[in-house]
């Protein structure tokens, strides 16, 4: 080999060495899929109940993420004194592929403090835990009671009946009560 061609051979070897080091296919495995999870949300941001009044509903919705399936156990924290939940047993949501929810009813006793409270509903499935919150507003009970006696009557043509309606103030309140001794005759015909 001639000494003049030696630098060309070395350069050719260097180029071949560099090109064989960087290219080609990679044998790295794809990244693992994200872990299964769920999102938790309250259907209504605020529930309002009256002291001693009618039950009000709330629904908690669980949405699966990344193919989550399983049972989510719910606990509710922050209930004011005198507020009850029905059903009273443990609440849960079974999720299998699509969003699911569970409903419960809230009621306040006559002595539940008036005000706004934030309730936190925590959902747990295995090691996954999420919390959804909503506001509970307890309003004052009506300051009076209405009673009708008798509760039902049967009338025939040309007959009459006496019905007593009483409106009673609840102790500690001062409602403005109107009085009426009898209805106008045209209302009875």
Q: Considering only CA atoms, which of 140, 165, 58 is closest in space to residue 103?
A: 58
What CATH number is given for 37-139 in this structure?
2.60.40.10
Could you give the percent of the chain with pLDDT greater than 70? 75
Q: Which positions ≥6 away from 44 have C-beta within 8 Å?
A: 58, 59, 134
How many CB atoms within 10 Å of residue 107? 18
Annotated domain spans of the chain: 37-139
Whether pLDDT at 132 is above 90: yes
pLDDT, residue 5, reads: 57
d(CA 59, CA 103): 4
d(CA 110, CA 173): 13
- In the block, residue with structure tokens 């949405």: 63
Q: Considering only CA atoms, which of 42, 76, 54 is closest in space to residue 138?
A: 54
- In the block, residue with structure tokens 């009506």: 142
Whether pLDDT at 113 is above 60: yes
pLDDT, residue 18, reads: 46
Q: What is the pLDDT of residues 45-99, one digit of tens each?
A: 999 999 998 899 999 999 999 999 999 999 999 999 999 999 988 899 999 989 9
Q: What is the mean pLDDT of residues 140-151?
A: 80
d(CA 19, CA 11): 12
Whether pLDDT at 10 is above 60: no
DSSP 174: -
- Residue 164 CB burial class (10 angstroms; 0-12, 13-18, ≥19): exposed
pLDDT, residue 16, reads: 43
């Amino acid at each position: 080999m001639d000494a003049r061609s030696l630098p060309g051979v070395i350069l050719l070897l260097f180029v071949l060495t560099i090109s064989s080091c960087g290219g080609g296919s990679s044998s790295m495995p794809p990244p693992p899929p994200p872990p299964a999870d769920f999102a938790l949300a309250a259907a209504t941001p605020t529930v309002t109940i009256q002291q001693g009044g009618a039950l009000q509903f709330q629904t908690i919705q669980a949405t699966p993420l990344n193919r989550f399936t399983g049972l989510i156990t719910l606990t509710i924290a922050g209930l004011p004194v005198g507020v009850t939940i029905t059903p009273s047993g443990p609440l849960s949501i079974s999720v299998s592929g699509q969003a699911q929810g569970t409903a419960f009813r809230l009621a306040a006793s006559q002595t539940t403090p008036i005000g706004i409270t934030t309730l936190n509903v925590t959902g747990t499935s295995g090691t996954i835990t999420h919390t959804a919150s909503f506001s509970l507003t307890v309003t004052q009970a009506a300051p009076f009671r209405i009673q009708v006696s008798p509760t039902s009557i049967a009338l025939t043509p040309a007959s009459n009946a006496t019905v007593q309606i009483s409106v009673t103030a609840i102790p500690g309140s001062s409602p403005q009560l109107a009085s009426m001794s009898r209805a106008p005759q045209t209302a009875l015909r």
